[in-house]
Amino acid sequence: MSHNYEVGVVGASGYSGIELCRLLAQHPDLALRFVASERWEGETVRARTGIGGAVGALRYVAVQRAVGLARSAAAVLLATPADVSLRLAPGLLEAGVRVVDLSGAFRLGSPEAYPAAYGFAHPHPALLAEAVYGLPELGRSGLGGARLVANPGCYPTAAALAVAPLLAAGVLADEAVVVDAASGITGAGRQAQESFSFAEVDEDVRAYRVLRHQHTPEIAQSFARARGRRVAVTFTAHLLPVRRGILSTASARLAAGASPEQLRAALDSAYGTEPLVEVVGSPEEVSLRSVVGTPRARIGLACATDGFDPGRVVIVSALDNLLKGAASQAIQNLNAMLGLGETRGLVFERGGEAP
């Protein structure tokens, strides 16, 4: 394989970081040169993940060495908590290294939103203003040549892909959009908390962070950008007793004068040529099984023309929270930043996904 760009992964022992390593191990244009993790420092990638080849032979280094090692790299992917990303990103950018950040550190456009959403005052408002929000299907124009890309959250990706094209097309009424979504346990990251243990999660489903989830401002931001003004949003997250995947159900109302056919037309117009978003005939065709293990999202909608609530619109979307909701979307963004085809390393020419 011909590798044209060297990259590094910081936070490589987390679920998303491991997926990044798997994807980079077979990428035709990107060579993974270092992996950083305090948890697994000194151990090999192969010993911890089973990944073979040159990537498997790499040894995890301490996170504090990342900036120095990155000086010879074209880009670094930060699969780190927001506070770590905020500490590392400025030094990487100063060294001329492009950054794709998988945390929430640079996702919100306004620094004033951070204290409520993430519990801290943003220390780098200039970088926040520079950061490009990396959801390519809804706006890829700023990705080419960007220095800093904020990789979207998994829940916001599922919600925005489903609803934003309809808001942009003006086919939804000016009412609140309600989003209920459920994620596999890996969406919580590697947390040694009793509430995320197998015995607590198995055979149970529960809502969490109700009316205070940190992804709500990000979802509202995507909706407002699509509509051109503020959109009222209620978002509720649920935890599923499965490893991975997100199923999101959004409820809205058809705009006066709009038709159900225009809803489908809006989705087809947005995604008709997109290789990583599939619009299907009905919400019942959307499931975790149809997307887990792939870099694709799937969307289906229905609109009530009679019955108990005429004009009700329901849009169901699904994606793999570790891939389209994190790692594969980060690679998609990095590909675009470096001038490569967005699906390089994600979809083979024969049409199948990367393993």
Question: Which residues are marked as active site?
Answer: 154
Enter the tokens of residue 85.
């990303």
CA dist., res. 339 & res. 306, Å (int): 49
* β-sheet with 132-133: strand ranges across: 60-61, 30-36, 5-10, 75-78, 98-101, 148-150, 132-133
CA distances from 335 to 88, 149, 165 (A): 21, 12, 24
Cβ-based neighbour number of residue 66 at 10 Å? 26
Positive or negative: CA dihedral 320, 100, 17, 182? negative
Enter the tokens of residue 11.
């936070």
Closest CA to 240 of 178, 320, 303: 320
Enter the tokens of residue 35.
């992996």
